[in-house]
Homo-oligomer: A and B are copies of this chain.
């Protein structure tokens, strides 16, 4: 697993989630044209007695557009339900494969009514996934899990093109070059873009007091193995 510390001269070095993300995004090979290929998912285990609540949470996030794409994994295993949602890092992977060098910057809580981040945690220099920390601090209505990436200005037009072609829910905003985006600082010659976090459905369940076991950036699956939310609910 990518969070296992790297041995260095017999000493254990702590790995940042930034490094983990960069190594995972390279496994993405989703083809927009063929609508197939490998994508990254977050995973949530929950008792299957909460199946109705799960479907409701997925439906809500889908209708609000606060999840990434419309595909989910939904498996029964004994008395448990395993949900998978596409991780926003998948979009980074698709963009990188198209030659746009995106840099993950931070994960945080976006307040929709204010179009502003109210909390952020840097990916670089941090060992935990920020969305796992913020999971019980969002309501999935006005406050949602979101992430910021930055890319060089020159890639902006192409990024917008690819995002349009991709046609997935979940990309919230592409910032202007040299401009802050939703209150997050962006350096000169860069622009920022914001994706909703794939774990918003899990956050909604957690906000209702339902026990969930969550694993951010859990692994790689084939897109074709996932089900459209509309078919599920």
Contact = CB atoms under 8 A, between A and B. Distances in A.
A121 B116 contact: no
Contacts of A121: 121-122, 125-128
A44 B30 CA distance: 50
Interface in A35-82: none
A139 interface: no
A12 B183 contact: yes
Interface size bucket, A side?
A: 20 to 34
Contacts of A12: 114, 116, 183
Contact of A13 (B14, B125, B183): B183
18 contacts: A11-B180, A12-B114, A12-B116, A13-B184, A14-B116, A14-B117, A14-B184, A16-B122, A106-B126, A108-B127, A117-B127, A118-B127, A119-B127, A121-B125, A121-B127, A122-B126, A123-B125, A124-B125
Top 6 A-B pairs, shortest CB-CB distance = A122-B125, A122-B122, A14-B183, A121-B126, A120-B127, A119-B127
